[in-house]
Homo-oligomer: A and B are copies of this chain.
Amino acid sequence: MLVEIRLRPGIADPQGSTIERALPALGFDGFSGVGVGKAIRFAVDGPDEDSARARVEELCRRFLANPVIEDAEVTLSAAGTP
Contact = CB atoms under 8 A, between A and B. Distances in A.
A42 B37 contact: no
A33 B82 contact: yes
Contacts of A29: 45
Nearest to A5: B39
B42 A39 contact: no
How many copies of this kind of chain does the complex include? Answer: 2
Contact of A40 (B32, B35, B42): B35
A39 B4 contact: yes
A10 interface: no
Interface string A6-34: 10000000001001100100101111111
B40 A34 contact: yes
A6 B3 CA distance: 13
Most buried by B among A2, A36, A39, A82: A39
